[in-house]
Amino acid sequence: MRTFSIAITGKGGTGKTTVSALLVRALVDAGETPVLAVDADPNSNLNEALGIELHETLGYMREGTFRESIPPGMTRNAYIELCFRRAIVEEKGFDLVAMGRPEGSGCYCFANDLLKTCMTLLGRDYRFIVIDNEAGMEHLSRGTIGIPDILIIVSDPGVRGMKTAARIHDLARSLGLSSVPVLLVLNRFKGSTADSLIPEPALFIPEDPAIEKAELSGMPVGSLKEGSPARVAVERLAGIIRSMARERQRT
């Protein structure tokens, strides 16, 4: 099965990381392993949502290291892949790699380049890749994460959130991603929304007290109990994605 990549984006505070963590768990529980979880937000916290410890990020890898420390006889790409393997956190059914922040006041250009190379070199080893993006469309506009197989826009059901989701949708089209399916996910849904603003078919994740309880207690939201409303909704999302992946495989 060819790798199927899922880019999750949206404005800040809508629950992108929570959705990403629940989706990783849902795919693993469905037997769609191995999954690669990519935390493409410099403010890395996907590991916390998944309940795993993060020791290293791509942001801590220094550009000078790749100019000066490549062992004799090893190509740059081979050395980068070796460093990536060291940075990956391995868990049962999935791995995690995080972009993180550069040390000091350095720009993100080199970290972005590493993430792009990482996606190219490691993506082939996984059935699914779940990419938790930072707010906005920077990684898509820069081509850092390549062209995903589906773009999921996470929003709250309020008017401002929906308008932001619509702008992200239009921006994706302007970036040449018109062939990429887009799914709007309305998070923390309480039963009503501005229907006229929905730009694409949407999936609703209901307000779930278990998420707030987990966040307040410092527990990983990715390990919600079976039957919790948010987990059930994201399992439906995983089912949609799995069906899309199977259909693509047949074409």
Cα–Cα dist 80/87, whole Å: 11
In this predicted structure, the answer to whether residue 109 has a pLDDT above a threshold of 90 is no
What is residue 71's predicted lDDT score, i.e. its pLDDT? 82
What is residue 24's predicted lDDT score, i.e. its pLDDT? 97
Greater pLDDT, 52 or 197: 52
Give the model confidence (pLDDT) of 73-98 as tens digits: 888 777 777 777 777 899 999 999 88
What is residue 62's predicted lDDT score, i.e. its pLDDT? 61
Greater pLDDT, 244 or 60: 244
- The CATH number linked to 75 is 3.40.50.300
- Greatest extent of the chain over all pairs of C-alpha atoms, in Å: 62
What is residue 105's predicted lDDT score, i.e. its pLDDT? 52
The confidence band for 195, taking pLDDT boundaries of 50, 70 and 90, is low
Give the model confidence (pLDDT) of 115-166 as tens digits: 777 777 777 889 999 999 877 666 566 666 678 899 999 988 877 878 888 8
Cα–Cα dist 188/190, whole Å: 6
Greater pLDDT, 68 or 32: 32
One-character DSSP codes across the chain: ---EEEEEEESTTS-HHHHHHHHHHHHHHTT---EEEEEESSS--HHHHHT------GGGS-HHHHHH-PPTT--HHHHHHHHHHHHPEEETTEEEEE--PPSTT--SHHHHHHHHHHHHHHGGG-SEEEEEEPSSSHHHHHTTT---SEEEEEE-SSHHHHHHHHHHHHHHHHTT-TTS-EEEEEEEE-S---GGG--S-EEEEE--HHHHHHHHHT--GGGPPTT-HHHHHHHHHHHHHHHHHHHHHH-
What's the whole-number mean pLDDT along residues 36-45?
86
Cα–Cα dist 243/246, whole Å: 5
What is residue 79's predicted lDDT score, i.e. its pLDDT? 79
pTM: 0.86
Least confident of 116-120, 183-187, 245-249: 116-120
What's the whole-number mean pLDDT along residues 223-236?
92
In this predicted structure, the answer to whether residue 107 has a pLDDT above a threshold of 70 is no
Give the model confidence (pLDDT) of 171-184 as tens digits: 888 777 778 898 99
Cα–Cα dist 136/171, whole Å: 10
**AA identity, residue 141:** S
What is residue 49's predicted lDDT score, i.e. its pLDDT? 93
Greater pLDDT, 172 or 1: 172
Cα-Cα-Cα-Cα dihedral of 57, 74, 147, 137, to 10°? 30
What is residue 80's predicted lDDT score, i.e. its pLDDT? 74
Domain range holding 235?
4-250
- How far are the Cα atoms of 195, 222, 245 from residue 6, in angstroms, in the given order? 25, 17, 10
**AA identity, residue 124:** R
Q: How many domains does the chain have?
A: 1
**AA identity, residue 247:** E
- Cβ contacts of residue 61 below 8 Å, gap of 6+? 83, 87, 110, 111, 114
What is residue 211's predicted lDDT score, i.e. its pLDDT? 92
Greater pLDDT, 175 or 67: 175
Dihedral of CA 208/204/173/180: which sign? positive
What is residue 101's predicted lDDT score, i.e. its pLDDT? 65
In this predicted structure, the answer to whether residue 20 has a pLDDT above a threshold of 80 is yes
